[in-house]
């Protein structure tokens, strides 16, 4: 009971702080997610120390009692993981494959530009300018590849633009980026472990990832259409929602097992059920899970930030340079690929692709655990992940100032969605603000 009752206090503190901060930021006309990340930093082990643990594997006195620190860290990690899975599932529920297809070519171009330019910039800076070893430079390049779609999706949702064209481009491109990033990470990890990686292995990893995504997105949607009639025959209560949750958990676990990020599976599961969402009130039922778990994800992500790193001048200057390259790489690369949408949307796509968030942190953790990157470089990637994440929400907010939201656009188009009153997305926003 010890760990559970300590964690219960932690969860309460995190949820309370997240919601108070969210309320304050909404009143300041900023996305709630910034408030949640900042209270995470403040409550975390490097500041107030009310939640979380600085390092795994050690036992210390905590909340006045001896608790296995590693266990506590694992619990928070799992809660955060479930939170981001729900987040991407809900985003997936709002993303019909046909919608992504209409922006597919553009999303592909944005994704490729968003992979190549940041990787080259990161690799070049660390290898040529800093003169560090090649493997370290490759790792930093890899950390700059993936987009943390969670942050941008949340901000777009908070601002009421999740159904816009640019949002679809960003979501589609981010999914592609994440897949490419995970493939590169898998390859680089194999390189870092000292073994050589054959072209065959690289091909296998890549094939798995692409096959998984295409198979789930296409075949899953077919299956959902064909079998949806059977959902009504199940005797368990709320069977459609239960089955959707099952598929979400299953695809998330499967994606994690084959070396992709769990969130990719969750997003695809949402997409599979997107067409059934309205009929079975899936999104409406997923939203309470979202309200419960997603703010905890952002608080826990924030709590991983050691703000003291920012006080070391040499670490900070390298980190700021890498951060600048990370932002410039995505804005220039993705922006160029998005050329022709008008300056505002082009800028939104570029900026929206910039956050590295937990994906950058994953790469940093892998690199550190394989002893490929030294502590200072680990700090650099952490700072880059945090800064690219913190900087994006206010810039997107500014870029969208005065723009009509999804709901405005739909009202103007005279769109109606039938008799059902969908309270949660009635003005085109995801909940949680």
Residues contributing to the site for a copy of itself (CB under 8 A): 1, 3-5, 7-9, 11-12, 15-16, 19, 22-23, 26-27, 32, 68, 70-75, 77-79, 81-82, 85, 234-238, 241-242, 245-246, 249-250, 252-253, 256-257, 262, 285-289, 291-292, 362, 365-366, 424, 429, 431-433
Nearer to a copy of itself, 70 or 165 (CB): 70
Q: Which two tokens stand for residue 138?
A: 């490759």
Closest distance between a copy of itself and the C-beta of residue 185, in Å? 11
CB 235 within 8 A of CB 213: no
Which residue, 226 or 235, has its beta carbon nearer to a copy of itself? Answer: 235
Q: At what angle do helices 239-257 and 199-231 cross, to 10 degrees?
A: 170
Residue placing its CB nearer to a copy of itself in the complex, 22 or 352: 22
DSSP assignment string, 297-366: HHHHHHHT--GGGGG-HHHHHHHHHHHHHHHHHHHHHHHHHTTTS-HHHHHHHHHHT---HHHHHHHHHH
Cβ atoms within 10 A of the Cβ of 211, count?
11
How near is the Cβ of 343 to a copy of itself at its closest, in Å? Answer: 31
Which residues, listed in sequence order, are joined to residue 59 by a DSSP beta bridge?
68
Please tell me whether residue 374 adopts helix, strand or coil conformation.
coil
Show the tokens assigned to 56: 């795994």
> Dihedral sign, CA of 62, 7, 367, 353?
negative
Residue 430's closest CA among 264, 310, 270?
270
Give 84 or 121: the residue with its C-beta nearer to a copy of itself: 84
Nearest CB to a copy of itself, comparing residues 17 and 319: 17
CA distance 275 to 407: 19
Find the shortest distance in angstroms from Cβ 379 to a copy of itself. 19
| Smallest separation (angstroms) from a copy of itself to the CB of 357 | 15
């Amino acid at each position: 009971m010890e760990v559970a009752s300590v964690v219960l206090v932690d969860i309460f503190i995190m949820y309370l702080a997240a919601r108070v901060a969210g309320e304050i930021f909404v009143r300041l006309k900023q996305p709630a997610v910034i408030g949640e990340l900042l209270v995470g930093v403040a409550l975390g082990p490097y500041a107030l120390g009310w939640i979380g643990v600085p390092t795994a594997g050690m036992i210390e006195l905590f909340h006045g009692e001896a608790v296995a620190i590693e266990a506590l860290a694992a619990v928070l990690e799992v809660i955060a993981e479930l939170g981001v899975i729900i987040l991407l599932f809900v985003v997936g529920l709002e993303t019909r494959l046909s919608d992504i297809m209409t922006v597919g070519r553009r999303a592909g171009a944005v994704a490729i530009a968003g992979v190549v330019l940041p990787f080259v910039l990161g690799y070049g800076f660390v290898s040529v300018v800093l003169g560090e070893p090649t493997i370290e430079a490759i790792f930093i390049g890899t950390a700059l590849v993936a987009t943390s779609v969670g942050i941008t999706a949340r901000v777009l949702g908070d601002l009421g633009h999740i159904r816009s064209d640019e949002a679809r481009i960003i979501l589609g491109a981010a999914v592609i980026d994440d897949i490419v990033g995970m493939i590169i990470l898998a390859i680089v990890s194999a390189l870092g472990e000292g073994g050589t990686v054959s072209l065959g292995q690289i091909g296998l990893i890549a094939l798995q990832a692409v096959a998984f995504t295409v198979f789930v997105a296409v075949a899953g949607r077919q299956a959902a259409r064909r079998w949806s009639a059977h959902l009504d025959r199940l005797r368990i209560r709320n069977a459609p929602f239960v089955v959707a949750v099952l598929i979400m958990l299953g695809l998330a676990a499967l994606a994690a097992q084959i070396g992709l990020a769990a969130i990719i599976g969750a997003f695809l599961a949402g997409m599979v059920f997107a067409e059934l969402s309205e009929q079975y009130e899936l999104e409406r039922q997923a939203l309470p899970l979202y309200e419960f778990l997603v703010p905890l994800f952002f608080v826990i992500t924030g709590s991983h930030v050691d703000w003291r790193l920012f006080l070391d001048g040499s670490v900070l200057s390298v980190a700021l340079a890498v951060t600048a390259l990370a932002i410039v790489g995505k804005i220039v690369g993705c922006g160029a690929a998005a050329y022709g949408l008008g300056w505002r949307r082009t800028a939104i796509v570029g900026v929206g692709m910039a956050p590295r968030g937990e994906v950058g942190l994953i790469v940093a953790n892998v690199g550190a655990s394989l002893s490929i990157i030294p502590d200072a470089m680990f700090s650099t990637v952490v700072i880059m992940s945090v800064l690219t994440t913190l900087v994006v929400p206010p810039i997107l907010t500014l870029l969208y100032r005065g723009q009509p939201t999804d709901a405005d656009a739909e009202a103007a188009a005279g769109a109606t969605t039938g008799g059902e009153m969908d309270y949660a997305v009635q003005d085109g926003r995801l909940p949680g603000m």
